[in-house]
Structure 1
């Protein structure tokens, strides 16, 4: 059995959740697992089964609003990484991110063996330079690195996304299970379904007898208030991540764009109606391991641009998806799950 192993995923909540199966594979053969996470993904790291300790640090080459590079800050995280006692590390990244800056810091911290996926020549920074063929879903991509490093999931582990349980009790907030969650917000405008469509969908769902819960982050409270419109329960800004997981766990279906809560829904096993803008590939980033209905033109001109703001006037890839189509998808999903 390995000693303390450090695993790193430095970006957002959804990215951290998608790394979960790989982290569990490491945990199956490690005495302890330390996870290095960024401030945007820290709460998800705390929810991952197999993680014993979380170290938080904002990496200036990963964060979308990066702080200036600060020598004192960099040397401080090197010391914190050294203090973990890890002698082995796996650096998990998306295809467009480099593992090498962190590998350098890990070498400075005394980590003896480092593995990562890297297209760039790593010199002496990596002991395992893994390459991935094709375009697998993000959890499988990460798991392939873990396997190459000698870490395998136990036979009883199906490799789906997961969170620590038990989750908080939310009955007093949302009542009995069996509602529909609508999560209207996304981290960038290019991934968000038009607000007026969200409002229309909530009205139509409630008119058809569905109980609807609207969720969102604290900075999305105005959005969730508008979308709930007095017809649905508005939980915008009123849940931490573990509480949100519990709310999603009690839902029959979650309606969401490509954003962290869609992956959190998958992690608790709830089907997703995914309003998915093709600025990134659904093959990689769609909700993983649960029944999913994918809505949105995946061949739209914005395909693969990774744009934050839609480059096509009118945002047609998602604006052309109507509320009635979403309601049909929700009801079809509930019928299958019944």
Structure 2
């Protein structure tokens, strides 16, 4: 009988994409392929459905991780426990970032009868974990997020199959020529789910004009709720696709681009998953060592020693947003040129 593995990553789309290599390791199984159920937040579902190796997606809005949590309701918790119990996974991999505890979810998984659970945990887990990795003892806290997740998978005996390079990946995206036209083009994605990680709209608009003046065609992308922003940024010079794509179509738009200019947000990791170089407008509220675009050429822009460093702030705590406010349109043009010449991280 094929084992079922539950992989949990309860954040947003970008975090789910970073879990992709660990999902593929789990799907490779321990001796024979396994079926992977990915437990994620509704905020991460659209990314989860693009990950190779996922057989089933189970969503649950986690009240200790969601940035806008609903009240805790016993019936909701009981429903999750029941759904997991009916799945009967042989093992669960609880994937978290350094500031999150896996133990509340591990408790619920134990109540659901999951016999084997692996996670990184700062706190003593008691009977909740079978494979515990301790931060800065068993796993370096500055590991990139995909490697941290792979370490959790390896602790339970799951490793990438031969020939898998461990990079980010999604299922092949659809053809989007009807939306974007023919290459070449660049993508500028001005929005971010966390406001502190977004470049100022007026700077984004300046970058579109500067990139156009440098001879590039610029496509501006955004979510349905960002149409006003993308229209402002695209202006008369860029192609505005704000709200015009599904997540899978966005992957196709990013895949066809020569480079993507974007903050530390989901589309940065989606660009990495389709192999497109990234100009990363990176606010240091979280460490770039852990969340920079993974395993693709990229240029990091932004003051990494700014006062907001390491605060995990959702809104910039420093007047003027200096970490990204110091970045100019000229810096973006120069970064694109560096990527075109192969001079990048």
SS in 2 for 1:235: strand
- Matches of 2:2 and 2:119 in 1, distance apart? 17
Of 37, 41, 51 in structure 1, the residue corresponding to residue 40 of structure 2 is 37
Write the mapping of 1:116-265 to structure 2, written as runs, cut at 5 A: 116-131=119-134, 132-165=139-172, 167-265=173-271
1:114 to 2:109 alignment: no
Match of 1:273 in 2: 279
Could you list the per-position Cα deviations for residues 166-225 of structure 1 after superposition, in whole angstroms to 9, with x for gaps in the alignment? x11101111113210000011122111111110000011112221110001111111000
Match of 1:27 in 2: 27
Write the mapping of 1:325-336 to structure 2, written as runs, cut at 5 A: 325-336=331-342
- Matches of 1:200 and 1:109 in 2, distance apart? 53
Shift in Å at residue 84 of structure 1?
1.5
Q: State whether residues 114 and 125 of structure 1, in contact with CA within 8 Å, keep that contact through their aligned partners in structure 2.
A: yes
Shift in Å at residue 85 of structure 1?
2.2
Shift in Å at residue 267 of structure 1?
0.3
- Matches of 1:18 and 1:336 in 2, distance apart? 24
- Matches of 2:192 and 2:94 in 1, distance apart? 26
Match of 1:305 in 2: 311
Aligned residues: 336
Distance 1:331 1:304, change over 3 A: same
Write the mapping of 1:47-126 to structure 2, written as runs, cut at 5 A: 47-126=50-129
- Matches of 1:51 and 1:126 in 2, distance apart? 23
TM-score (norm 2): 0.95
Shift in Å at residue 160 of structure 1?
0.3
Q: State whether residues 25 and 160 of structure 2, in contact with CA within 8 Å, keep that contact through their aligned partners in structure 1.
A: yes
SS in 1 for 2:304: coil
Structure 1 unaligned segments of length 5 or more: list them: none
Which of structure 1's runs of 4+ aligned residues deviate more than 6 A?
A: none
Structure 2 unaligned segments of length 5 or more: list them: none
SS in 2 for 1:65: coil
Shift in Å at residue 321 of structure 1?
0.6
Shift in Å at residue 284 of structure 1?
0.3
- Matches of 2:61 and 2:284 in 1, distance apart? 27
- Matches of 1:221 and 1:157 in 2, distance apart? 38
SS in 2 for 1:336: coil
Q: State whether residues 257 and 274 of structure 1, in contact with CA within 8 Å, keep that contact through their aligned partners in structure 2.
A: yes
